[in-house]
Each structure stands twice: as structure tokens, then as C-alpha cells.
Amino acid sequence: LNMKLSWLVICAGTLFLNPVTADCNITSQTVICEESGKSLSNIPTNLFQNVTELNLNNNKITLKDSDKKILQSFINLTELYLNENMITALYNNSFYNLTKLLILDISYNHINTVHNTAFAGLNQLSVLNLSYNRITQLDSDLFTSLKSLTVLNLQYNFLKSFHIKSSFKLTKIILAGNPWTCSCDLLDLQIWLTASGVTMENENNTTCTFPKNKEKISIKMAAIQPADCKMEKDTSENSVTSISAIKLKSSTLLTALTPNNITGNNGTHPELPLLGKSWTFLAGVLGFVLSTTLLIFTAIKCPTWYHYLISYRHRRLEENDSEMFEQEFSADMSSYPTVTGTNNEDPIVIFEKIHAFVPAEDGFIEDKYIDSYVTEES
């Protein structure tokens, strides 16, 4: 009885020190843990550290930072299955320290972003499955660190083009089910598929989606002329160069017109900020306000100026004008009836008095009413 009790204590202590789930199968060579279909949201921590094969498919794992730290402890891991989970992005160093990993399956997730160094450290990786995700773009340097990669599965994503380097070596690639656009952006992939001798699995279903005239044609056989692409590339480069030159000239002119520094209160020379587009809008608003004000002022003042100019008709008489005035005035005076009982020289006297009413050169004006009063008194 004591022997049985001691064996039970030893077994319990072993389980306590080395916790392991009931789904882990231990052999002399491998430790296989089956944790699929358990609605796990995190990678479990109660696993053997020397596990070599880990199956976590059909769960709710999102591969958070805590999950990545747990994975880094499984340094002997050779196969990792994370398919059918809820992973949306693969960030940098997601599988760091798994230097012995050979197979990585992340299919049937919601991945739409893959960072450039997401697979850093996977020096021995041979099979990578990224199928049935939502990937729209992959960088050409993403797989350069995977020197041992032989099989790449990218089928049923949202890839329209895939720039790949000629040094990239594979034995099999799966690209079916993507909306490929058979244009110049796909030329690099087409050349690589032909030159590398790689096997493209399910080639009949790996066809162009755009343009319409190349629909249902294999991306490997679609007619894409390198000469046309070269001309298009040269044209785009020239346009970019001309735009860059214009921007450079504009910035140089702006720098030349703008003073580099202004002396501040503390004696330093802070640089002036570059002019933006707001000053042009401000100048336009100011010009509009000034012009509107000028038009309103002109519309108000024009009638006054017009009446002033019309009424300003008088001018100084010249010498010949004075002689004509005397003749006209004499003719007008002759039309008046003569008064009986007066001397014949009276009209002349009256004329002289009236004529004397014209302003003299000394600046004084005689009052005819005063003269008439004097005449009556005399």
C-alpha cells in the first residue's frame, strides 16, 4: 500500500511540474499536441516546452503579442497549424525563434496585412500556406529570408499583381482563385514563372480577370509585350522626372525669395516657415473686398460728380469777348422804350452807369441801387 501511495505522489508531482493536456501524444521522438476545435482565444501555456508538432486549428486565436511570446518558447517546433482561426494581420517577427519550423499553415483566416519581416527567423521553413485569406498586396522582399522555402500557397486571396525577384526559388506555387490583372504589373511574375521552371499547380484555373479581352487566359500565357511595358515605364519615369524638376525649381525660387532667418529676441536666427496656399486665398478675398468697395463707392459718387461738372460752365472773359458783350448789351438797351421829358443823353448816362456795374480791375463792384438813389436825390 505504501508503495502504491508513493507512486501516486511521484506521478502527481510529475504532472504538476510538467503540466500537459490530455490531447498531447508523447513518443520517443515527438510530442504532438492536438488543441483543435476548443474555441481557444490564446495559445495555451500548459504544454510541453519540447513540443515538435502543434495543431491549433479551428479556434479563435488572433496571434497577439502574448501568443507570440508563448510560441517563441517552443524552440523545437517543426510543424505549426494555425488554420481556421481569427488572425487578421501578420506583424514583424511573428514567428521569431522558431528556427526549426518546417511547415507553417495559416490558411482560412482573415489576414489582409503581411509586414515585410513577418517571417523573419524561419530559416528552415519549407512549406508556407497563406491560402483563403484577404491579402491584396505582397512585398517582393517578403520571402527573401526564406532560403529553404519550396512550396508557397497563395490561392484564393485578392491579389491582382505580384512583383517577385528572379532570385526567388521554389518548386511549387499555387496562385489560383485571385483576380489577376494581366497588364505590365504582372510581367515580372510571368517572366519568373517561365524562367524559374517552377510548377504552378492548378494552372488552368489561374487565369486573368482583367482586362476583358484576356479573361479566362492563363496568367502564364497571357500576351504581355515587354516592349510596350518598357515604353510605358519610360513615359511614366519621364513624367515623374519633369514633375520633380518643376517642384525643385519652385522650391528653389521660393527659398531664394524667402529670407532664411530672422533675428529673434534672444539673438538666434529661426528659419521662416515655408509659405503655404492659405496666403493666396487670403489675397483673393482681400482683392474681392477692395474691388467691391470701390465699385459701391463709385456708384454712389458718380451722380454727384456728374452734376458738379455740368454746373461748372462759367469761365473768364477774354478781351474780344468783352467787346462782343458791350455790343450785345447796347442792342438790348436800345430795345427798351425811351422815357419822355428826359434829356437825350440820359440813355448814355444810364448805359455808362450800368456799364460801370461790370467788375473793375480793382476788385470792387458798384451797387446799382445806391446809384439810382443818388440820381433821384440829385
- The per-residue DSSP string of 240-301 comes to HHHHHHHHHHHHHHHHHHS-SB---TTS--PBPPPP-SHHHHHHHHHHHHHHHHHHHHHHHH
The answer, yes or no, to whether residue 163 has pLDDT greater than 70, is: yes
CB of 258 closer than 8 Å to CB of 274: yes
Q: Per-residue pLDDT averaged across 208-222, rounded?
A: 91
Query: Most distant CA pair in the chain: distance in Å?
Result: 183
Q: How far apart are CA 376 and CA 11, in angstroms?
A: 161
Output the pLDDT for position 4: 47
Angle formed at CA 149 by CA 165 and CA 94, multiple of 5 degrees: 95
Mean local confidence (pLDDT), 185-199: 91
Residue 276 C-alpha cell reads as 503655404
pTM, two decimal places: 0.59
**Nearest alpha carbon to residue 131 among 229, 202, 222, 49:** 202
Predicted confidence (pLDDT) at residue 25 exceeds the cutoff of 60 = yes
User: pLDDT of 5-17, one tens digit each?
Assistant: 554 444 444 444 4
- For residue range 230-274, list pLDDT tens digits in order: 665 555 555 555 566 556 655 665 555 555 444 444 444 444 445
Mean pLDDT of 67-96: 94
For the record, the C-alpha cell of 273 comes out as: 516657415
How far apart (Å, rounded) are the C-alpha atoms in residues 224 and 31? 50
Q: Is 369 helix (H, G, I), strand (E, B) or coil?
A: helix
CATH topology (fold) of 23-158: 3.80.10
List the grid coordinates of 94. 511573428
155: exposed, middle or buried (Cβ count in 10 Å: 0-12, 13-18, 19+): buried
Pairing of strands 31-34, 24-26: antiparallel
The pLDDT-based confidence of 299 (bands split at 50, 70, 90) is: confident
Q: Element (H or E) spanning 327, and its range? A: helix 319-334
Domain boundaries defined on the chain? 23-158
The pLDDT mean for the chain works out to: 76
Collapsing DSSP to helix, strand or coil, 31 comes out as strand
Residue 99, pLDDT score: 94
Nearest residue to 105 via CA among 36, 182, 24, 162: 36
Distance of alpha carbon 292 from alpha carbon 302, whole angstroms: 15
* Other Cβ atoms closer than 10 A to 296: 10
* pLDDT classification of 88: cutoffs 50, 70, 90: very high
